[in-house]
Structure 1
C-alpha cells in the first residue's frame, strides 16, 4: 500500500516521522508506505490540485491513495477557508469524484496539534506563559496556533522565534502523539483515514 500525502514542506519534515511511528504500532503487518509530496508554499488549489492528484494516482509508481493536508489558516485575506469542513469540501470539489482522494485540514494550522504539549513548549521556550484556553483546534484566524508558539519562544529565555522544522520535532520527540489525537478531531480524522484504507482498527 502506497499513500501519497500532499503537504506543505515544513510540515512534512516536522510531523511525518512521528506520524509513521504512531501508525507502526497500529498497522504492524499492514504499514503503508507514506510518500510525501511536499510544497514549499501552500498546497495547490483548484485545477492544479486536481492535476497533481490525478498524476499521483496513475503511472508506473502510482499511489493507491492520496491525502491532501492543508492548514485552514493560509494567511490570505479574505481567508481561503472558513474552517476545516470548508477546506475539505473545497478540495473535494476541486478534485471531483475520486474515492482514492482524501482531503484533510489542520484547524487552524499544524501547530494546533502541538498545543497539547504546552509544558514541553514552556521548557523549550524558557517561559511559563499560560497555555491557550479551550480546545487546541478552536484557536482562530485572528491569532492562530503558530503565532502563539512564536510569541512564547520570542518572550522566553531562548530569545529565538519558533521554527517549525526544528522546534516541532523537539516538541513531539519526547511526547506521545496519542495525547494530541485525543484532543484534536481533525488529526484523528486523518489518522482514521489511513487506518481505514489499510484495513486497520479505526480510533473511536
Structure 2
C-alpha cells in the first residue's frame, strides 16, 4: 500500500514523525509506504491539484491513494469551513475514488490546543487556553494566532515556530488526547487506517 499525503511544508516537518509513530503502534506489519509531498505555503488548488493527483495515481510507481491535508485558514477566503474545503477539493479533482480530501480546522495548530499546559511551559506564560473545542477556534483568530501570542508575551522571549515547537509539543504528549477532541484529526487518521484495512478509531 502506497499513500501520498499532500501537505504544507512546515506541517510535514512537525507532524510526519508523530504520525509515523502513531501508525506503527497500530499497524505494525500492515504499515503502508507513506510519501509526504510538501508544498511551501499551501497545497495547490483547482486544475493544478487535479493534475497532481492524476499523475500520482498513474504510471509504474503509482500510489494507491492520495490524501490532501490543507488548513481551512489559508490567509485567503478560499474555504469557509472544513466541509467547504473538502467539497471544493473534491470538485477540483473530480470524482476520483482514490483521492481523499482532509482538513485541519482552522489550521494545524488546532491539534496542539489540547496540550495547552505544554504550550504554557514552553512559552513560560500562564495565559489561558482559548475557549471551546480546538477545531471551533476559527477564521477570526485561528489557533496558530493564539499559540503565537502566548509565545510572544511569555518569558521564552521568542515567537512560535511550527517546525521547532509543534513537534516538541506533540512529542511530549499522547496523540489520542488530541484525536478525542478533534474530529477532523480523527477522520484523517481513520482514512489511513481504513486504507490499510486496520481497526478504526471509534
**Under a length normalisation based on structure 1, what TM-score does the superposition of the two structures give?**
0.98
CA distance in 2, matches of 1:30, 1:44: 30
Whether 1:201 and 2:186 are equivalent positions in the alignment is no
Which residue number corresponds to residue 68 of structure 2?
68
Give the RMSD, CA atoms, in angstroms.
Answer: 0.6
Q: How far does residue 84 in structure 1 lie from its aligned partner after superposition?
A: 0.4
CA-to-aligned-CA distance 1:113-162 (integer Å, 9 cap, x gap): 00000000000000000011110000010100000010000000011110
Q: How far does residue 193 in structure 1 lie from its aligned partner after superposition?
A: 0.4
Secondary structure at the aligned position of 1:53 is classed as helix
CA-to-aligned-CA distance 1:36-72 (integer Å, 9 cap, x gap): 0100121001000000101111112211100000000
Which residue number corresponds to residue 95 of structure 2?
97
Which residue number corresponds to residue 157 of structure 1?
155
Q: How far does residue 34 in structure 1 lie from its aligned partner after superposition?
A: 1.2
CA-to-aligned-CA distance 1:90-131 (integer Å, 9 cap, x gap): 000100111110000000000000000000000000000001
Report the number of matched residues.
Answer: 202
Structure 1 unaligned residues grouped into runs of 5+: none
- Larger displacement relative to structure 2 (106-115 or 28-37): 28-37
Whether 1:189 and 2:190 are equivalent positions in the alignment is no
Which residue number corresponds to residue 21 of structure 1?
21
**Under a length normalisation based on structure 2, what TM-score does the superposition of the two structures give?**
0.99
CA distance in 1, matches of 2:99, 2:12: 18
Secondary structure at the aligned position of 2:180 is classed as helix
Q: How far does residue 13 in structure 1 lie from its aligned partner after superposition?
A: 0.4
